[in-house]
Amino acid sequence: MRVLVVEDDPVTREIVAAMVARLGHDVSSVADGETAWDVFQESSSFDVVLSDWKLPGIDGLELCRRIRTHAKETYTYFLLSTVAGGRGNRILALEEGADDFLTKPLDPAELEIRLILAARITRLRGEVRAASERLTLLEEQTRTRRGFEGMVGKSVSMHEVFRRLRLAAQSNVSVFVHGESGT
């Protein structure tokens, strides 16, 4: 997975980035929320953002809000970390869109567990999105087929007309169909 680590303390940032890399993930790290937001917008291919809550400029919670409102095709799992791990902070973080919450200092085993969960959730969200797209396509195809229910015609030539109309219906080009009417 591609992981963006956002941490203002340089020593902690290097330690966390090394832990994530040791787990086999591709890691980028930045020192503040503004830079993280810029990097995220430029790339938009991060699977996970692991951000400290207290950052200069844009804090971790605001970064989370921005990422959640940023329209993109894939889901980014957001892990928020802080020294103040009280119940109220955890609830607030989850309500604002964070997927999980880690209390500092980070435990390597706990981080590994959270990244395994992040991989599972992002994979499942991708599968749900793909299934939803397939369902939408099937609904469109069904609607197109149903479009001829009220039309009369069981001959081979009318079936050919319906086949061509289905093909034409798949494009955005205007089509004019003319011919004899009646029975």
| Beta-sheet pairing, 26-30 with 2-6 | parallel
Domain residue limits at 53 = 2-131
So what's the pLDDT on residue 21? 98
Q: What is the pTM of this model?
A: 0.74
Instruction: Kindly report the CATH number assigned to the domain that includes residue 83.
Output: 3.40.50.2300
Instruction: Find out whether 177 and 169 touch, Cβ atoms under 8 Å.
Output: no
- Residue 106 lies inside a defined structural domain of this protein: yes
Number of domains in the chain: 1
- Residue 45 lies inside a defined structural domain of this protein: yes
Model pLDDT for residues 105-149, shown as the tens digit of each residue? 999 999 999 999 999 999 999 899 889 888 888 877 776 555 666
